[in-house]
Structure 1
Amino acid sequence: MDETSTSKRVSAPLLLDTAKALSSELRLRILQALSEKPMSVSELTKVLGVAQPTISINVQMLEEVGLIETAQKLGRGKICSRTCDSLILDLPVVPSESLKVKEVHMPVGMYTSFRVNAPCGLVNNEGVIGNVDEPSSFYMPERAEALLIWFSEAGYVEYSFPYVASSDPLVRELKVSAEVCSETCGYNEDWPSDITVSINGMELGTFTSPGDFGATKGRLTPVWWKGGTQYGLLTEWSVNETAAYVNGVPSAHVTMNDLHLSPDRPIVVRFEVKPDARHRGGLNLFGKRFGNVPQDIKLVFSR
């Protein structure tokens, strides 16, 4: 690997989706072609001799796991770039007291503060909570049962987690993970949104969701949910004693000391699309019985 090569760290929760994206000869050929230079979808079609719709579908799969970035260029359509030259894989381990202190699972409807714009809404097992596109529905007590919440453009939802590792002075890392994607009317798989996570007011980094995914039914999405957003991407933000990371890639010069954690105060986690974000494409936040990942928002305390 030369000095200009870049590496991407794949954390254990993201291994399966990344492995699926790499389990295709065509997708490997796309990555190989992009090692030389960025190309448009039409250019990839010519180089690889494959129909454009097939290229587009496979580019999207690589984009969803962060191996490809795309951008619209006037006159050239969607330009695809490879994000890294090598992968570092964090293999899963059996949780033990020597590795993991505690983890807390927070239902998506248990937020303590919010600012949202319509289109917005919440759904539970039975259907819509309150009224669609009315931010006042976010105050309803039934929000605690929400399986999916969404808002468009800029806004945030904020959660107060307990500091459950107060008896252990060796906590050196926090990880926040959730299934997320962009939000627009109906769905649009090419609709980027910059989703920023902060803990106690310190920004850990921004994940750019490539789209609002609705073309394929979510594995856990209820059968009565017709059309619209179907699933998101499992995304992880973390911070340790040296830096913060998004999906294992360094993202901010924030450390555990900057969070000023205390057993007598909550840990405030905010999911936000900032008003000054480049891509103000809204947010969908999925609970454990909606989308593709059987998980609520998870906060992990690690040694």
Structure 2
Amino acid sequence: MKSLSVNFNDIDKMASYAKALSSEDRIKILKITANSNPTVNELSESLSIPLSTTAMHVKVLEECGLILTRLEPAVRGTKKVCFRNVDDIFIDLNLQQEENKHRCHYINMPIGSYVNCEISGTCGMANENSHIGILDNPQTFYYPDHYTAQIIWFEKGFLEYRFPLDILSFGDLTSFDLSFECCSEAPSYNSYWPSDITVWMNNVELHTWTSPGDFGGRSGKLNPGWWPHSSTQYGLLRSYKIDSSGTYCDETLVSSVTLKDLEVTKSPYLTVRIGIKEDAENSRGINIFGEKFGDHPQSILLGIEYNSKI
């Protein structure tokens, strides 16, 4: 025998158990099947109710898994034998307890902590103190101090990051929430400079967003004092959510890609790639902002939502 438990995370199942136990006759059937395996005819006789009514009660109990039935040979044809399938049912009505099991673990990945890149065209990076390396030279992206970058820009290519997933040893994944500040990359800045910026997870393309421009005209709220006023100043915050129903950008469904498509159990980390596709219709580059540049005090922020097992 086995035990069943149900809580507010599965309202349909809770309702099916409640329905099954809402009839005195069905409760009597559970009592009878605790010590014997009666046929439907025998149950009808024991309860002194019509055979059709007994069959209906048996069907309700079987549909929610409280009893099992099996057809066996009889003197004439077959007979349906009933077996108890469950010893205990635990119905947890403690809403707060269930809510507390839902967790979100955040990782704020520095924009310079990429593990792979392909860069071409206009490009560069800087931290809060100075430019890093040589402007418009892709070799700069392999300098050791690229890890300190607080703003990165390039015309074509991508940056790739790896986020550890060890937190999932404590629970079951329900969604990823990804956000970062970005904009197009224009000479100086240009509010009308559309660029198609694409996001991938685990090599699966999630969505391409067209940035309207490269923003300036005022200092970014977090920019250091030495940063030139004639350069890019700030971007827009893009927020993605990927769950079992699809991919959302700023709460709008933009893709049918789900968590299942990402196959997260095959690797100890999640790969996130941000860049400009080779065949992008609007290929005008990207600026990515860290927590000390632009308007938003964050880098590439990943929220891992899960239901805790603890």
Query: What is the CA-CA distance between 1:239 and the residue it aligns to?
Result: 0.7
Query: What is the CA-CA distance between 1:172 and the residue it aligns to?
Result: 1.1
Query: What is the CA-CA distance between 1:264 and the residue it aligns to?
Result: 4.7
Cα 1:97/1:180, change in 2 over 3 Å:
farther
Matched, 1:163 2:165: yes
2:226 aligns with 224
Superposed CA offset, 1:13-56 (max 9, x none): xxxxxxxxxxxxxxxxxxxxxxxxxxxxxxxxxxxxxxxxxxxx
Amino acid corresponding to residue 125 of structure 2 in structure 1: L
Cα 1:97/1:171, change in 2 over 3 Å:
farther
Matched, 1:280 2:283: yes
1:186 aligns with 188
- CA–CA distance in structure 2, aligned partners of residues 179 and 207 of structure 1: 13
> Retained in 2: the 8 A contact 1:194–1:273?
yes
Structure 2 runs not aligned, ≥5 long: 1-98
User: Which residue, out of 111, 115, 118, partners 1:115?
Assistant: 118
Amino acid corresponding to residue 277 of structure 2 in structure 1: K
**1:217 aligns to what SS in structure 2?**
coil
Amino acid corresponding to residue 304 of structure 2 in structure 1: F
> Retained in 2: the 8 A contact 1:198–1:270?
yes
2:87 aligns with none
- CA–CA distance in structure 2, aligned partners of residues 97 and 209 of structure 1: 38
1:233 aligns with 236
Taking only aligned residues, the RMSD between alpha carbons, in angstroms, comes to 1.5
- CA–CA distance in structure 2, aligned partners of residues 119 and 195 of structure 1: 16
Amino acid corresponding to residue 135 of structure 1 in structure 2: P
Matched, 1:249 2:255: no
User: Which residue, out of 146, 149, 152, partners 1:146?
Assistant: 149
Give the number of the structure whose residues are more often strand, by fraction: 2
- CA–CA distance in structure 1, aligned partners of residues 211 and 202 of structure 2: 23
Amino acid corresponding to residue 223 of structure 1 in structure 2: G
Count of residues in correspondence between the two structures: 207
Structure 1 runs not aligned, ≥5 long: 1-95
- CA–CA distance in structure 1, aligned partners of residues 130 and 223 of structure 2: 12
Query: What is the CA-CA distance between 1:97 and the residue it aligns to?
Result: 5.1
Superposed CA offset, 1:134-154 (max 9, x none): 0000000100100000001x3
Superposed CA offset, 1:114-134 (max 9, x none): 111231001012211111110
Amino acid corresponding to residue 235 of structure 2 in structure 1: G
Query: What is the CA-CA distance between 1:205 and the residue it aligns to?
Result: 1.0
Superposed CA offset, 1:217-274 (max 9, x none): 1000111101210000111122100101111111111110111113752210000111
- CA–CA distance in structure 2, aligned partners of residues 171 and 245 of structure 1: 17
TM-score normalised per structure 1: 0.66
2:204 aligns with 202
Superposed CA offset, 1:189-226 (max 9, x none): 10011111110011111221100001121000111101
Matched, 1:102 2:105: yes
> Retained in 2: the 8 A contact 1:206–1:246?
no
- CA–CA distance in structure 2, aligned partners of residues 164 and 216 of structure 1: 41
- CA–CA distance in structure 2, aligned partners of residues 278 and 146 of structure 1: 28
TM-score normalised per structure 2: 0.64
1:296 aligns with 299
